[in-house]
Chains A and B, each alone.
Chain A
Amino acid sequence: MYRSFRARNFRCFTDLQIANLARINLIGGMNNVGKTALLEALFIHSGAQDPNVALEVDVFRGMNGGEESGSVRTRTPWTSLFRGFTTGTPVELTGEYITGKTRTLRLRPVDDPAELAKPAQMLPGEFARPAGSGPPPAVLAGDLEDDSRGLGTSYLGVTRFGTGLWAVSLRLPEQPPTIFFVARKRPASSHDAERYGRMEVIGKQDMVRDALRVIEPRLQRLAVVVQAGMPVIHGDLGVGTMVALPLMGEGMTRLFSLVVGIGNAPDGVVLVDEVENGLHHSVLPKVWQAIAEAARQFEVQVFATTHSLECIEAAHRAFDEDLGFECDFRLHRLERVNGDIVAKTYDRDALRAALEMGLEVR
């Protein structure tokens, strides 16, 4: 679990430092202050040994990791990760964990021929070019350090004919999973069904059902039903026939995805962009409590962004109550100060005071 996180020269951040991270972290702020970028930085950092992860975040945004990044034409698919599309200064992502360990991932383009020889040794076909022909291959290096001790470097490059990517990953002990819920894309129902199946295997299916009862109190049980070769979650509402979950509304599928996502990321991180999507404000406090309960059971750290005051107020109400277990919660509001983005962290008392005073907290 992260205690603090720092993103330097990443996307819109010059040097974003965010401390006092909690089990549940809500990220607020105006448009274009980097809420999604913070989730992306965490996603890249938590999957640091696999260089492909660095480019998945552009795919999540609807870009295909190709040459176009917004309106700026870039030479490499990773240029958009660097602040100001300038790759001269490395991206540096540092997480401090509650164990005291610190892990840093440094992303940098590789120009030095001596270093290019390292991935070339492993993938000679990608580097084979007649001497003096064309530009050198575009390669991104990811240096990984734990407590300033180098763990190694991963490499990512554009294939010889520019039609794809190759990657040389680092071999590290298995890392806790990270799941990213992207704002504009709902997980496939087959994906959700698979995740639910894993929870059934470990006997946690009732936890999912209980969480969904926040929205649909009639729900008696859940089952995976295969329709036209596709697994679809169904629920028993006591109406004589099982009802497909998507037919119960956006809120049900959203909460289901979140809870089974958390259940499938034990000891890991779940990132949720625009968490309130599809959820009516009246159920938000209970939804937060369901998320907190799942996060507690699976020791998952949750980072969720929101634009919604109702969502922030609901989280505050939910975590101000006695949940019967200790759940720490923080609101981190990103704000542009003198051109740079900084994080302002609200503990429970600060958020209560700011809400009571009617101050802006988004």
Chain B
Amino acid sequence: MMAKRPVIEQHSILIVEGVDEQGVFGALLRHLGISDVQVVPTGGKTSLADGLHGLKVSPGFDSVTAIGVVRDADADPEAAFRSVCGALSREGLPVPAAPLVPHGGPPKVTVLILPSGTRPGALEDLCLDAVADDPAFPCVSAYFACLHDAGVDGPHNLSRARMQVFLASRQQAGKRLGEAASYLPWNAPAFDEVRRFVQSVRGHSPINQI
């Protein structure tokens, strides 16, 4: 039997980049006890602009009242935000003035640039911040210092590699970030901004404004 393809079922949606982001934000929503926000990944191959283009004509989109867009800053957080704004504008969706500032609506749009609105990096950097107090963390740092001292070329994406090494210290090792998100300490201060963002997107659904 053919697998059922997902449709948009909630008034509030989080548009994220890939399966890791889907897993992490899904785990965060479960932690917060939120079941009326739907995480929609654009997938590895599809750009946010194309993803929004496809999403806008998908079943259920007309009922969406709040959209949260999550995007990695990569090398330049401002450029990342501008890129998101360009994609929103092309689809005729509200364009916020700054990250974390909701705009327009419905659907009301809020943008979150990871790890924060002002520094380069990605989801893994945010997660590393959150686990910085974990007893395993010095061991992770020591491992990469050891590699460096041994003259081994480090991985291209050091943050992703550090996160993988950290996850290798958990009981069920070998999972990628999205699958192992239940190990993340959701109450860590590093996740404050993300928690507020998710709550804010949820708050813009009509049910939660009553």
Contact = CB atoms under 8 A, between A and B. Distances in A.
Interface of A: 309, 333, 335, 337-338, 342, 344-346, 349-362
Nearest to B7: A360
B50 A359 contact: no
Contact of B43 (A335, A349, A351, A358): A358
B138 interface: no
Interface residues of B, number: 21
Give 8 closest A-B pairs by Cβ, nearest first.
A353-B54, A354-B54, A344-B57, A353-B50, A360-B5, A360-B7, A350-B53, A350-B54
Contacts of A309: 2, 5
A140 to B, nearest CB: 35
Contacts of A361: 5, 58
A354 B6 contact: no
B62 A357 contact: no
A357 B43 contact: yes
Given A350-B57, A353-B50, A357-B41, 18 more contacts: A335-B59, A338-B62, A342-B62, A344-B58, A350-B50, A350-B54, A350-B56, A351-B54, A352-B54, A353-B42, A353-B53, A354-B58, A355-B54, A357-B46, A357-B54, A358-B6, A360-B6, A360-B59
5 contacts: A333-B59, A338-B62, A344-B57, A356-B45, A357-B41
B57 A357 contact: no
A354 B2 contact: no
Interface in B51-70: 51, 53-59, 62-63
Summarize A's interface: helix, strand, loop or mixed: mixed
Contacts of B53: 349-350, 353
A355 B43 CA distance: 10
A309 B59 CA distance: 14
Nearest to B91: A350
B109 interface: no
Contacts of B123: none
Given A333-B57, A345-B57, A357-B42, A352 B6 contact: no
A349 B50 contact: yes
B40 interface: yes
